[in-house]
Structure formats: structure tokens, C-alpha cells
Amino acid sequence: MTSEPAVVDADLEMLAAQLGREPRGVLRIAARCGDGWPAVVATAPRLPDGTPFPTFYYLTCRRLNSALSTLESEGYMRDYADQLAQGGELAAQYLGAHQAYLADRESVEVVDEIVNYSAGGMPDRVKCLHALVGHSLAAGPGVNPIGDLALAEVEGRGLWPHTGPCVSPEVGL
């Protein structure tokens, strides 16, 4: 887990524009787009209202979210799940990603309701490419192999990294 300066008001304004709502439980910006906009936030394991929130690394970039939704609709989750089901090194690395995710989140707070639950289907399923790529961007290459594969696919399509904000200019930012 990387350390970054505290979230500033401009970050919160950008996040609100990306999300279409006020952001909740933001601890830090875990990864940024090429132009400095937030791409992934680290979110408190328990939101301010007390709700457990297992998705520690939350992908906020609209362009990347859209690209990953396209991959999901094209069957990439099924393809990655098939690769994972073969076991071997990929399965071992994915289990390691699950453990790393839990360690990152629990370094902030252990929330009994979500102990051993990470995100994206880890450690044995592929359920959400958005969560897995968010983890890859936050943790860096080589930590989440499925997130890395999906990120490589969108990079190969020229969809990441991008420049310019991932929301329209009319949002007032």
C-alpha cells in the first residue's frame, strides 16, 4: 500500500463529479489517471454511517469503468475464470492478491462483518473486473494477476492511460 498526501478538497470535487454523488469514506487517492484525476480511492472498511464496506480499492475513473464494462460484456470474466480454474501459478498468484488486499484493508481497520472477504471474486472466482483492476492500479503490477490481465487488455486497446478528465467539462470543474 502506497502512502500519498491527504485528500484535498479538489480531489473530493473531482470524485463527486466522477461518482455523481458525494464520496464517502475516502482515505486517500490510491491511483490517478495520467492527468492527475483520481482513478482509484482507498475507502474506509467501515463507512461513516457504520456500514461495512469491503471494496477497499474503489475504481472511480469513468473512462476506465466503461472500458472494463465492455470487457465484461465481451466475456473476459469467463475467460479469466477458465484460466483460473486450471490452477497452477495463476491461481496461486490470485490467492496472494486476495491476501494482499485483506492485509491492506486490515491495516486500516478490521471489520468483523467482512473478515476474509476481499473483492472482485477473489480468491477463487472472477466476479468484477473493476475491483480487480482497481487493486492492480493501487497495489502496482504483479500483485493482482487478473487485474493486470484486464488492465493490459484495455491498455492494448488504447483506452488506458488516458488524458483529460473522465467526466464532461460541463460538471463545472
> Per-residue pLDDT for the chain (173 aa), expressed as one digit of tens each?
555 667 899 999 999 999 999 999 999 999 999 888 999 999 999 999 999 999 999 999 999 999 999 999 999 999 999 999 999 999 999 999 999 999 999 999 999 999 999 999 999 999 999 999 999 999 999 999 999 999 999 999 999 999 888 886 554 44
Q: Residue 105 and residue 67: Cα distance in Å, rounded?
A: 26
Domain assignment of residue 4, yes or no: no
Entry pTM: 0.93
In 66-172, the DSSP E strands lie at: none
172 φ/ψ angles, rounded to the nearest 5 degrees: 90, 15
150 φ/ψ angles, rounded to the nearest 5 degrees: -65, -40
3-state secondary structure of 136: helix
CB neighbour list of residue 37: distance below 8 Å, 6 or more residues apart: 14, 18, 61, 165, 166
**Rg over CA atoms, the chain:** 16
Count of CB atoms situated within 10 Å of the CB of 72:
17
pLDDT score, position 166: 83
pLDDT score, position 156: 98
- At 67, the amino acid letter reads A
In the chain, the DSSP E strands lie at: 26-32, 38-43, 57-59
pLDDT score, position 6: 77
pLDDT score, position 1: 52
Domain assignment of residue 124, yes or no: yes
CB neighbour list of residue 89: distance below 8 Å, 6 or more residues apart: none
Domain assignment of residue 1, yes or no: no
Domain assignment of residue 35, yes or no: yes
Domain assignment of residue 2, yes or no: no
HSE, side-chain direction, 13 A CA sphere, residue 47: 9
Domain assignment of residue 3, yes or no: no
CB neighbour list of residue 13: distance below 8 Å, 6 or more residues apart: 173
- Give the structural domain span for 85: 9-171
Domain assignment of residue 83, yes or no: yes
Q: How many residues does the chain have?
A: 173
Per the structure, the count of domains in the chain is 1
